[in-house]
């Protein structure tokens, strides 16, 4: 650590883990679910839960619950027997990240455990609800656009820019911003 309080050397390029308190936190259930869907999209044949766990180095017991939720959510179909296993319920270009989040964790964004539209603020923070709604809507837009086939192929939107374009202003409807 330098005398001015800044990091120097090897640590300067690394960021600390948030300890689970990141602004955007992708749960293990969602991460594992997307990885399984990518593996199935790349496979010509159905895969068993054991094969999927081994292919993605995932804990099998935890994965079983995720597979059940993905099947119940209409993203996977399963077949029993010697020729059985899991396969995608629809083409990979028709399964978005948003489709995966719903059955695995529910809502895309919460504020202190509530949906953003259920929050209210007063005083100088009066318009904060509108800001959170814009953040949620922008995140939802990206999650809707990124599909399993785009992940597998590496054809991700905004990838060449290295960042997402932000074209939203926050304010009251009378000011021309998002209400």
Domains of the chain: 25-175 (1.10.10.10)
Q: Are strands 85-88 and 76-79 parallel, antiparallel or unpaired?
A: antiparallel
pLDDT given at position 6: 47
- Mean pLDDT lowest for which of 3-7, 17-21, 166-170? 166-170
pLDDT given at position 26: 86
Residue 56 near residue 32 (C-beta atoms within 8 A): yes
Q: What does the alpha-carbon distance between residue 109 and residue 118 come to, in Å, rounded to a whole number?
A: 12
Q: What digits encode the pLDDT tens for the residues 68-94?
A: 999 999 999 999 988 889 999 999 999
Q: Is pLDDT at 18 greater than 70 in this prediction? A: no
Average pLDDT over residues 130-135: 90
In DSSP terms, 87 is beta-bridged to 77
pLDDT given at position 118: 87
Which range has highest mean pLDDT (10-19, 23-32, 42-51)?
42-51
pTM (2 decimals)? 0.74
**HEC states along the chain?**
CCCCCCCCHHHHHCCCCCCCCCCCCCCHHHHHHHHHHHHHHHCCCCECHHHHHHHHCCCHHHHHHHHHHHHHCCCEEEECCCCCEEEECCCHHHCEHHHHHHHHHCCCCCECCECHHHCCCCHHHCCHHHHHHHHHHHHHHHHHHCEHHHHHHCCCCCCCCCCCCCCCCECCHHHCCEC
Q: What does the alpha-carbon distance between residue 170 and residue 178 come to, in Å, rounded to a whole number?
A: 5
Q: Which two tokens stand for residue 74?
A: 């209409």
Average pLDDT over residues 29-46: 96
């Amino acid at each position: 650590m330098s005398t001015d309080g800044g990091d120097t050397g090897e640590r300067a390029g690394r960021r600390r883990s948030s300890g689970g308190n990141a602004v955007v936190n992708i749960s293990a259930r969602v991460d594992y679910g997307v990885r399984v869907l990518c593996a199935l999209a790349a496979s010509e044949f159905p895969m068993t839960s054991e094969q999927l766990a081994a292919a993605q180095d995932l804990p099998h017991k935890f994965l079983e619950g995720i597979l059940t939720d993905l099947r119940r959510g209409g993203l996977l179909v399963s077949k029993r027997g010697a020729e059985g296993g899991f396969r995608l319920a629809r083409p990979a270009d028709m399964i978005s990240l948003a489709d995966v989040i719903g059955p695995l964790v529910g809502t895309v964004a919460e504020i202190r455990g509530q949906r953003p539209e259920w929050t209210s603020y007063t005083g100088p923070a009066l318009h904060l609800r509108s800001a959170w709604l814009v953040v949620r809507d922008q995140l939802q837009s990206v999650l809707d656009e990124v599909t399993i086939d785009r992940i597998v192929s590496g054809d991700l939107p905004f990838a060449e820019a290295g960042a997402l374009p932000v074209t939203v202003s926050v304010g009251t409807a009378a000011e021309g911003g998002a209400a």
